[in-house]
Structures are given as structure tokens and as C-alpha cells.
Structure 1
Amino acid sequence: MAPQLTQSDITELLTAPTPDKRAQIARKVGRQIDAGGLSGQERLLANDILRLMVRDAAEMVRTAVAESLCAASEVPADVVNSIISDIDSVAVPFIERSPLITDEALLEIIEAGAPAKVLAIASRGSVSEEVSDAIARDGERDAVVRLLGNEGATLSTSAFSEVLTRWHDDVGIADRMAMRKALPLTVVERLVSVVSDEMKNRLVARGGVGNDIAERLAFEARESVTIKLFDGLDSIEDFALLMSHLQGAGRLSGTLIVRAACLGEMKFVEHALAQLARISPERAWTLVHDAGRLGLRALFQQARLSQDLYLPLRIAVDVYHEMVRSEEVLDREHFRRQIIERILTQPDGLKNDDLDFLLYQIARQEQIIAQREGEAADAVRAASA
């Protein structure tokens, strides 16, 4: 049973005892409130004592009040607000554990941007979708990592997307996200291009999405190797021979060209478009690098590529030109990040999807169309046999 407050306790409290003694009384009040069973008059008295103690000048006393009330199910709202507005050492344990703090109050804390308090919110046993969205959008890295590791937190698809957009090249955050028990398929597919090899294996092994992920990994690996082959070629004849081979094998796809463009491999882009449009590489170069953009549009149409690919291709070429004009070193990863950021800010472009996800989905559509055409051709041959 919680110890009862005595008249002596109240007298000592009102006659300014030492901080140690006030802290003892604070813990006694908190345990008594937590235990319940107070009469109406006793509850009023206890609440008045709490109001005095949460304004106590001694941090020790305020900390004792906060710690003793962490599990309480009934505390005056003004007392709760006083505690969560206090300094971190007093407020953080209460914010992390108290069931009495409303989502509205938690959102105000996040908006205020106090890192330790936001970290405490991300650690709560239960975090609503709305609060998780706010941390994903505005929280610092430590809070986001803590949130991702908290299975009691409900995260929406948009929250995962926001985190991946803010930290698209942070393997640590991607790995923590990959360890969650449940992830939307679209999030899993975006994660593949970011996580470590160990986490990729975990994602591939997930039930229900393993085949899709494995297929994407194989597809991306094949296209990346193809682009790298271009680096070892010396002559225009070698370039033309490789393009002819890729086209003959059905591998000179629009996604391959856009992927090369997003790595800054413009020579690959020029020769690939020349092959598909059946013009010389010199003419293709002129059209790709036309300052007015009409040339690239005309070349793109003559190559008969999917219209969904024109925006990322055009942006990749624009970013390439900007970096060349500024004499900036063309680092592949930096170049790719610039393009993704540019695409995400397009009013008529992609909003929440990573560029790799776009390429993968378009490639899937191309495969499905090709498969259907093949099936139709087989049916025609079978019917005429």
C-alpha cells in the first residue's frame, strides 16, 4: 500500500524543508496518486501539493515528482504540461513513459525541436502514425533511428518515404528500417538500392517479396555491369559494336540508357540513342547537347523510348551540363544524388519514389509487354500450324 501523507508531511512541505525532504514527500505523493483509492478531498489536496512541487526551485524535487508520476493514470493536465515543459533531466523520463501525454502535446514538442525530448517520444511504448510522421519529417537522425527501431511505433508508407528521401544515402538508417517486422512492398523495393549486403539478403529472404527483390537485384546488377563495360572501350568502332550487340540481345533498353545518364555516362547515352535512332554518334551528340532541348526530345522520340523516361533523362542531361559549366568534378554518387533531388522537386515529376524504383517499375512493364507480345505471337503460330 502506498504510504499516506501525514499532517507532519504537509507541515514540513509548507515550512520550506530541505530539497531532500521535499523530494521524499514528492515521491510519497506520487506513489499515493498512482495507487489510487483517494477520496475526493484527498485527491484535491494531493493535486495542490503536486502543483507546488512541479514549480519547486530544486531540480531534485521536480525530478522526484516526474519519476513518481510516470505510470500514473490520472494527473491534472496543468501538472503534466509543467513536467513536459521542464528541463530535459526532469521531462525526458516522463515523456518517454507517461500514458497521459496527448498526441497534440507530443507534436508541439517535436515542432519545438528539443532533441532529447523528441528522442524520448520516439522511444515511447506506443507512437501514433501522426506523431511518427512528424518525427520522420522533422526529427534529427538519432530520433529517426530510435523510431525505426521501435516496433511500438506505427509508421505510414509516407513516413518511410520521407526518411528515405531525407537520408537516401545513409546505410545505417536503411539497415535499421530493413530490420522492422513489417514493411510496405514499395518501401522494401526502395531499400534494396541503399542497404548493406547483409540487409539485402534479409530483404530477399522476406516472405511474399523475395522473388521481386531477387529479380530486381539481378536486373540492377546486369545493367550496372553493362555500363561499366563501356569504360574499357577505346574506339568509336568498339562503342558501335557493343551497342549493336546489346540491341541484338534485346538489352539496349530505355532504363539502361537512363541509368547510364544518371551516372553521368553521357558517351554511353549518346551512342545508345544513336544506335536506337539509326543515326551517327556525331549527330546524336549534337541532338543530346542541344541547349534548346528540342534536339533531345526529337532524338528521344526517334529512338521510340517510353515517354515515362523522358523527364529523368532530360534532368540528367541538364545536371550534367551544369556540372560541366561549373567545372565540378563528376563523381557518380554525387551526380546521382543531384538528379534524384532535382526529380523530387519537379512539380510535374516524381513525388515520393526513388529514381531506381522508377527504373525498375518501367523495366517490369517492358518485360510484361514483351512477354504478352511473345505469347500472342506463339498463339498466332499455333493457330496457323
Structure 2
Amino acid sequence: MMTSKLVLSDEDLKRLVKSDNADDRAVAAHKICRVMERQVVSEAEREAAHEIIRLMAHDAAELVRRALSVTMRTSELLPHDVAMKLAQDVVSVAVPVLHYSPVFSDDDLRAVIEAGNPARQIAIAKRDTLSEVVTGALATHGVEEAVVIACANDNARFDEGGFGRVMDRFGESEIMQSVLVHRQALPVTVTEKLVHLVSGALREQLVARHAVTPETAARISEAVQERATLDMAGRTPNAHDPKTLARHLVDFGRMTPSLMLRALVRGQMTFFEYALAELSGVPHERTWLMIHDAGSLGLLAIYDRAGLPGGMFATFKAAVETYHDLKAEQGHLDPIRLQERLIERFLTQTPTASREDIAYLMERLDFDHKGHSWANLPKGEAEAKSEFEAA
């Protein structure tokens, strides 16, 4: 039956085949599997080992089949047909191979997930690495615990559609939100959705726990969401995709003049360009020319086509011109310096600007970002700001 290289004793084989005691057969199964894993080398030995493994897989005793599953869970010697049989066995037998076995294909794992057994789904979710095929099946069919486990594993690869289904099914779950926040990278559209959900929770807390009117809470929540969205767009390596983010925000009705102004005064010009392009339906290349090479009339034309408020055009125009001035002077942009210059321009060089425009701009400059505040402004600018507030 087996070559001498496998050093399996006749007694071991007799116990496996003939013993009426399930415990004895399980012990023999464990020993035989360990020996085969260490000793099988030739093709003939592999075929003989497969025969014995299939014999164990058909044993009536769950204890024997579990011994097989546990001992061979990481072995490439386990035949594919046996692995599939064990995966459909009782949970105690199925879980070890589903968690570890390298012989399953992505399609095998997807089929098991789609069958819907939670324990099997969780076992698959715990595998060290998961392909987009497997995570997509989990996102669509998996129970929440399985999906949370997969999302917590940065070696589990999700495509954007998979993440979208996760958000659709479990986006309101605080556990899921926490897990997603702590992933190393997320698609920009998923991050923006997540920011939106967290902002909603913040609004509820402000209204419920503090003496804040719903209107004030909504305004604060909007500001938090906008800042977080732009922070994500500017800092997350794999999420820095301004075109995708702009399209997503437009599609979901969240591309507001306020958000665009925040981006512009923080020096995120590329995002501003794509925002105008998406709102206006004009290709980005042409939008770029209208913003940067066609003067005020070009900016006004693309601004109007985007449907932005006419009364805010002077604010946007000043921000774009200040951006150009700093680029010409320095060749690069410091967001804090850009904000300082924009404030200085509005308070000292734009006498025709309305108080409403100036107040709106100040609200959205986030000048306390990274510890900077009005108190740190140069003296002339701080005094101008104080005079404006006192007026």
C-alpha cells in the first residue's frame, strides 16, 4: 500500500481501518497525516497518501474527520475534492480547512460564502489574505461579523464595489465605521461616505447632549464634514483622487460652494478645477484653461456654467488670483500662508466686498487648523480682523 519511506506501521493502518473505537481511529489519523506530510516525496507516494486521506474523510466518526481537517489544514497534500468535502462537513470539521487550507480557489471560497453559513463565512474571513473575489462575496452575502473581520485585515483586498456594498449593508454600524476608519487605505468615495456618516452622528450628539440648537449643530456638523473630506483628499495616499472625489460629491449632491471655497483657500486647486468641471460638464483640460489662462472673464464663464451663486463670485475670484500671485512669487504653496494672504486681501484691498462675503469667507477659512489662530496673525491683519468684528 505505502512505500517504506513513509514508515507507517501496520498497527497504525489497522487501527485506522479496523478499530471500532473512534478515539483510536482519530489518534491513528492524526499520526498518519503527520507522517505523510513529512515523508511524501514521489508521485507514487502522493497517490497512496491521497487514498488514505480519502478513507479518513469518509469515516463515520466526526472525531476522525476533525483530526484529518486539523492536521492537514495547511498542507498542500490535501486533495482538492477532500478539501471541498470537509468544507461541507459539520462546522467543527469545516472551519479548520476553510480558515487555513491553501488548496481552495477563490471560486471555491466564494461558493461557500454564498451558501450562507455564518460559521463558514467567519472562518474564510479570518484567512491571512483574501482576494477581491472573496471579499466581494463577503460584502454581498456575509454576516456582519465576517465582514468586520475581513475589513479589519489590510491584507484583505476590496475593490470599490465591494466597499460600496459594505457601506450599503453595514455603514450605520459603529463597529464597522471604526474598523474602516483604521484601514490603511480606502477608496476616496468610501472615505467621503464614512465622513458623512460620522458627521451625522456628531450632529445628533450635539443636539442631544448640549444646549445647541439643531440649526447650529447642523452648521457645525457641515463644517466638520467639509474639513474631514478635504483632509482626506489631501493626505490619504491612496485616496488622493480629486477627479473621483469631485464626481462622487456631485453625484450625491454634496458639492457645495462652501466645500469648494474651503478647498480653494487651502490651496487644493486641482480639486477645485475638477469640481468646476464636474458641475459645468466641461472637460477638465478646458476648465483648467478657463481658470488659469482666460482671465477673469474665463473664470466667470465657467463659474456661471457650474451654477454657483453669483454673489460669491468676487470671493472665488480673489481666492484664485491670490493663488496665482503666490505661485508666481514662491513656486509652491503653504496653505497657512495662502489663508493669511487671502484674509489680508479681503480686509485691506477689497473695499467693495460685502460684509456677508467677508463673514462667509472667515467662517470657512478654518484658520485654527493645525494650531494656527487669529491670535497668530501679523499685527496689521489681526487688527483689521478685530475692527471688522467690532463694526
Shorter-chain-normalised TM-score: which range? 0.5 to 0.7
Q: Equivalent of 1:76, from 75, 79, 85?
A: 79
CA contact (8 A) 1:175 1:196 kept: no
Per the alignment, residue 373 of structure 1 pairs with 317
Relative to 1, partners in 2 of residues 1:230 and 1:111: Cα closer, same or farther, differing over 3 Å? closer
Per the alignment, residue 364 of structure 1 pairs with 259
CA contact (8 A) 1:170 1:194 kept: no
Per the alignment, residue 60 of structure 1 pairs with 63
Aligned counterparts of 2:256 and 2:105: Cα–Cα separation in 1:
41
| Corresponding letter in the other structure for 2:61 | A
Per the alignment, residue 335 of structure 2 pairs with none
Per the alignment, residue 135 of structure 2 pairs with 132
Q: State the shift of 1:353 in Å.
A: 5.9
Aligned counterparts of 1:84 and 1:74: Cα–Cα separation in 2:
16
Q: State the shift of 1:128 in Å.
A: 0.4
1:168 aligns with 2:63: no
Q: Where does the alignment leave 5 or more consecutive residues of structure 1 unmatched? A: 201-224, 232-250, 257-351
Per the alignment, residue 119 of structure 1 pairs with 122
Q: Where does the alignment leave 5 or more consecutive residues of structure 2 unmatched? A: 203-211, 224-246, 263-271, 273-302, 304-312, 325-348, 350-391
- Higher normalized contact order (CA 8 Å, seq sep 6+, divided by chain length): 1
Deviations 1:259-301 (A, max 9, x none): xxxxxxxxxxxxxxxxxxxxxxxxxxxxxxxxxxxxxxxxxxx
1:180 aligns with 2:179: no
CA contact (8 A) 2:130 2:156 kept: yes
Relative to 1, partners in 2 of residues 1:360 and 1:36: Cα closer, same or farther, differing over 3 Å? farther
1:95 aligns with 2:82: no
Report percent identity of matched pairs: 32
| Corresponding letter in the other structure for 2:149 | R
Relative to 1, partners in 2 of residues 1:25 and 1:192: Cα closer, same or farther, differing over 3 Å? same
Relative to 1, partners in 2 of residues 1:38 and 1:360: Cα closer, same or farther, differing over 3 Å? same
Q: Equivalent of 1:228, from 202, 215, 227?
A: 215
Q: State the shift of 1:36 in Å.
A: 4.3
Aligned counterparts of 2:319 and 2:155: Cα–Cα separation in 1:
48
Q: Secondary structure at the match of 2:172?
A: coil
Q: What TM-score results when the alignment is normalised by the length of structure 1? A: 0.54
Q: State the shift of 1:141 in Å.
A: 0.8
Q: State the shift of 1:163 in Å.
A: 1.2
Number of aligned positions between the proteins: 238
Deviations 1:237-277 (A, max 9, x none): xxxxxxxxxxxxxx9xxx99xxxxxxxxxxxxxxxxxxxxx
CA contact (8 A) 2:91 2:119 kept: yes
Aligned counterparts of 1:355 and 1:226: Cα–Cα separation in 2:
28
Q: Secondary structure at the match of 1:101?
A: coil
Aligned counterparts of 2:43 and 2:216: Cα–Cα separation in 1:
81
Aligned counterparts of 1:376 and 1:128: Cα–Cα separation in 2:
44
Q: State the shift of 1:138 in Å.
A: 1.4
CA contact (8 A) 1:29 1:46 kept: no
